[in-house]
């Protein structure tokens, strides 16, 4: 048993925490750092699983008229790849970083609700296992769900997916949804209620800002998905009629419900990545972020707009001219606050003393790749372009530029940046750079050509294709790129494993960064700040501490 004293601020009691040995120390933990690391670990495991699924798809598509996979199997694999990457890789990775970093960055002892935090993680983890149980239902029953990650009705109804695979998909997503929702509630309560003295809302590190806004989106839209899933489950198990057109239901209603969750979800997956970039770029440019207020405010603008753009996924439905105009307009409008951020980051680097560490290289890679994904995204807001390109490989290329070129690059950048804090050791920079270049090359080989394939008319979600001119070569390039990308991930994992054992010892603040998490030891002690939280009088407390003669406050006064 271990006595844990709660600071007077949190009620001043103390309670007994049972000290566990070995794996129980992790499984029974309610510590935000351990839970954060478990989120990151589970995200990495599912990343490998879904990555293998992607490689299997690319093998199937490497040559025309291939029969490596059956069509039914191919459908299951792309469904599981998409569902896993979104719900079990990207979101948990971002929630994991937020879990680990937010309390440290605001100078708190833990999250607002530590036990709820553990519940959320385990709900998410068991939801993931539930999802993969669908494979065990066997080929006779249809195996895993084969409905795509957005599970359109009526394909997801019993008439077309008779096996229990889709039920596992629904229950798995409900578990994951509950987990994500509790994490969102917890993060907001933490930021609102547990900030250290002096940490006003306008001094929050930008990663915390973006996490806060993301968490609000989670609270608002996860229940929309849950409601949709519940209705689908009632349709499937109790023979209700919500999405069954044959008895008066509406398949388009599912699309509305799903995408009014699904599009904000895209921003849930990218805003925290923006936050990471907003921490990494200033530190390695040797300058404070350019336009803090604009970065924060544009995030809020993105969040509001993201709730109003969903039907741009549905232009092909034929909603009517007015609908299309409205959603086309909002979808273009959301590019404005996003573009503001790109300028903020670029201007931060401008005339800075840029240090090209691996983390910074991933951040710069993010800027370039995400901009490409953003531009192809704006193109889709033009309704006729969408009609032409929808459900083609152009869409696949677009969202991989956003989610891999954007979020995954930022997460890798964040991994190199915060690994020293989490483990006490540095990730190897030489291998890191090899990892970066292989990722960049592999990623662009895989997905750049898919823009062209899409424009040539190759539809997504087909298990094979005829040997049309150009298709063969471009698909082969894409497959080769995918394997380079897969190899780069292996390098990253080897780097993590080796560095954990024998990496250079990091020290408290290896990058000369300014936010509070770098004030404590690496890794931080259980109570986070053994010697108290440093005073917070500005946005960069550690800079102020190191330069008492020219703190941010003084410089602001000088500047008037």
Partner 1 sequence: MPDKTMPEKTLPENTMPDRTKVGVGLFLLSEGNFFLILLITYVYFHSMPGDGPSASSSLNPMHTLVFSICLFLSSATIHLAGRSFKLGKRRAVSGWLALTVALGAIFLCGQVREYLGLFAHGVSINTNLFGSTFFTLTGFHGLHVLIGLFALAALLGIAMSGRLGEIKPSGFEAVSMYWHFVDAVWVVIFTVVYLWPLVA
| Interface ranges with partner 1 (CB under 8 A) | 8-11, 108, 112-113, 116, 181, 184-186, 188-190, 192-198, 200, 202-203, 219-224, 226-228, 230-231, 234-235, 238-242, 247-250, 253, 257, 535
C-alpha distances (whole Å) from 464 to each of 71, 91, 294, 458, 514 are 8, 31, 47, 10, 52
**C-alpha span between 421 and 518 (Å, rounded):** 7
Shortest distance in whole angstroms from residue 260 CB to partner 1: 8
Shortest distance in whole angstroms from residue 224 CB to partner 1: 5
**C-alpha span between 498 and 243 (Å, rounded):** 51
Shortest distance in whole angstroms from residue 410 CB to partner 1: 26
Please identify, using beta-carbon distances, which residue of 226 and 346 lies nearer to partner 1: 226
Shortest distance in whole angstroms from residue 195 CB to partner 1: 6
**C-alpha span between 294 and 346 (Å, rounded):** 13
Please identify, using beta-carbon distances, which residue of 129 and 234 lies nearer to partner 1: 234
Shortest distance in whole angstroms from residue 87 CB to partner 1: 17
**Using an 8 Å Cβ cutoff, are 446 and 475 in contact?**
no
For residue 532, the SS3 value is coil
Shortest distance in whole angstroms from residue 251 CB to partner 1: 13
Shortest distance in whole angstroms from residue 245 CB to partner 1: 11
Please identify, using beta-carbon distances, which residue of 254 and 290 lies nearer to partner 1: 254
**C-alpha span between 465 and 476 (Å, rounded):** 12
Please identify, using beta-carbon distances, which residue of 45 and 220 lies nearer to partner 1: 220
CA 356 to chain centre: 24
H helices present in 424-540, as ranges: 429-455, 471-502
**C-alpha span between 248 and 251 (Å, rounded):** 10
Please identify, using beta-carbon distances, which residue of 198 and 286 lies nearer to partner 1: 198
Please identify, using beta-carbon distances, which residue of 249 and 272 lies nearer to partner 1: 249
Please identify, using beta-carbon distances, which residue of 237 and 493 lies nearer to partner 1: 237
Tokens standing for 159? Answer: 């008439």
Please identify, using beta-carbon distances, which residue of 8 and 18 lies nearer to partner 1: 8
**Who contacts 482 (Cβ-Cβ below 8 Å, separation ≥6)?**
54, 55, 58, 442, 446
Please identify, using beta-carbon distances, which residue of 253 and 477 lies nearer to partner 1: 253
CA 394 to chain centre: 21
**C-alpha span between 206 and 272 (Å, rounded):** 9
**Using an 8 Å Cβ cutoff, are 529 and 520 in contact?**
yes
Range 226-250 burial, b when 16+ CB lie within 10 A, else e: bebbebbbebbeeeeebbbeeeebe
Please identify, using beta-carbon distances, which residue of 90 and 224 lies nearer to partner 1: 224
CA 107 to chain centre: 24
Shortest distance in whole angstroms from residue 181 CB to partner 1: 6
Shortest distance in whole angstroms from residue 229 CB to partner 1: 11
What would you report as the CA-atom Rg of the chain, rounded to the nearest whole angstrom? 24
Shortest distance in whole angstroms from residue 183 CB to partner 1: 11
């Amino acid at each position: 048993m271990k006595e844990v004293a709660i600071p007077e601020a949190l009620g001043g009691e103390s309670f007994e925490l049972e000290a566990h040995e070995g794996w129980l120390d992790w499984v029974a933990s309610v510590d935000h750092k351990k839970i954060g690391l478990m989120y990151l670990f589970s995200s990495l495991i599912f990343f490998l699983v879904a990555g293998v699924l992607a490689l299997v798809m690319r093998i199937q598509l490497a040559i025309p008229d291939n029969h490596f996979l059956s069509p039914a199997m191919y459908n299951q694999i792309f469904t599981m790849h998409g569902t896993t990457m979104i719900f079990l890789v990207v979101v948990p990775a971002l929630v994991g970083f937020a879990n680990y970093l937010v309390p440290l960055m605001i100078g708190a002892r833990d999250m607002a609700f530590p036990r709820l935090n553990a519940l959320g993680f385990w709900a998410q983890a068991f939801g993931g296992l539930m999802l993969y149980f669908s494979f065990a239902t066997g080929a006779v029953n249809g195996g895993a769900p084969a409905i795509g990650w957005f599970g359109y009705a009526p394909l997801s109804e019993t008439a077309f997916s008779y096996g229990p695979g889709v039920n596992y998909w629904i229950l798995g997503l409900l578990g994951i949804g509950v987990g994500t929702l509790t994490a969102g509630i917890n993060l907001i309560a933490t930021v609102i209620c547990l900030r250290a003295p002096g940490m006003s809302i306008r001094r929050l590190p930008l990663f915390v800002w973006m996490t806060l806004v993301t968490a609000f989106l989670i609270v608002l839209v996860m229940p929309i998905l849950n409601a949709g899933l519940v209705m689908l489950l009632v349709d499937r198990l109790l023979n209700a009629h919500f999405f069954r057109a044959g008895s008066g239901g509406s398949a388009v209603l599912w699309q509305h419900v799903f995408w009014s969750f699904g599009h904000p979800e895209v921003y849930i997956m990218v805003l925290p990545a923006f936050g990471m970039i907003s921490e990494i770029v200033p530190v390695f440019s040797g300058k404070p972020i350019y336009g803090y207020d604009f970065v924060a405010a544009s995030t809020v603008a993105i969040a509001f707009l993201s709730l109003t753009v969903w039907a741009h996924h549905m232009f092909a439905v034929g909603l009517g001219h007015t609908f299309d105009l409205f959603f086309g307009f909002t979808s273009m409008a959301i590019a404005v606050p996003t573009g503001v951020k790109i300028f903020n980051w670029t201007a931060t680097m401008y005339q800075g003393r840029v240090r090209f560490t691996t983390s910074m290289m991933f951040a710069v890679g993010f800027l370039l790749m995400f901009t490409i994904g953003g531009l192809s995204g704006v193109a889709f807001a033009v309704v006729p372009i969408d009609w032409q390109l929808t459900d083609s490989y152009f869409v696949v290329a677009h969202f991989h530029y956003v989610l891999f070129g954007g979020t995954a690059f930022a997460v890798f950048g964040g991994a190199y940046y915060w690994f020293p804090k989490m483990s006490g050791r540095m990730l190897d920079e030489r291998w890191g750079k090899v990892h970066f270049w292989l990722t960049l090359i592999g990623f662009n080989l895989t997905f750049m050509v898919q823009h062209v394939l899409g424009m040539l008319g190759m539809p997504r979600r087909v298990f094979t294709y005829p040997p049309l001119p150009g298709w063969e070569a471009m698909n082969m390039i894409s497959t080769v790129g995918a394997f380079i990308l897969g190899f780069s991930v292996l390098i990253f994992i080897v780097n993590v494993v080796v560095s954990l054992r024998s990496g250079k010892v990091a020290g408290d603040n290896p990058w000369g960064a300014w936010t509070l998490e770098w004030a404590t030891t690496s890794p931080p002690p259980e109570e986070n700040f053994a010697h108290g939280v440093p005073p917070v009088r500005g946005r960069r407390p550690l800079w102020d501490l190191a330069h008492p003669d020219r703190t941010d406050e003084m410089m602001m006064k000088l500047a008037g």
